Amino acid sequence: MAPLKAGKILNRQVIESGQLCPCGSGNTYGECCQQIHRIHAKATTAEALMRARYSAFVTQQIDFLYDTFHPSTRRFQNKQAIGQWARENKWMQLSILKSTLHTVEFEAHYLDPQMEVQIHHEKSTFKKQGDLWYYVEGR
């Protein structure tokens, strides 16, 4: 296998059901985010959806990321750009700093295309519509 070059990171990680979930919950992927990736309604809290969205970046489940944007903001999202950001970075770790009913403050640690460690710090807002939680925005 040829080594990856900077700017050419293709990091779709295949996570088996019995492996630890990339979201850092301590549960297996099958007990955690995989269920939410299969059935959006399994995210019963804003934090659960945030964790599943992080794991979707790791596993490059771009449709899940796009579909979990709140319908009022989804039309402003570029699915191709989301996919590019997911693919060009190597996702290392999620740290939840604070979680309330509608907000999650977190740090997502990753390697950028130049192989430099980056930390994406965000306070995300979520909204529940019917039985589904959605990502609205982040600052």
**How many residues would you count in the chain?**
139
Return mean pLDDT, the chain: 92
Band (pLDDT 50/70/90 cuts) for residue 129 is very high
Band (pLDDT 50/70/90 cuts) for residue 3 is very low
Q: Can you tell me the distance from the alpha carbon of 94 to that of 107, in angstroms, rounded to the nearest whole number? A: 6
- Global pTM value: 0.90
The closest of 17, 9, 45, 25 to 124, measured between CA atoms, is 45
Q: Can you state the angle between helices 46-59 and 79-88, rounded to 10 degrees?
A: 70
User: Which pLDDT score, from 0 to 100, does residue 12 have?
Assistant: 62
How would you list the strands of the sheet with 132-138, edge to edge? 90-99, 103-111, 117-129, 132-138
CA angle 128, 46, 39 (to 5 degrees): 75
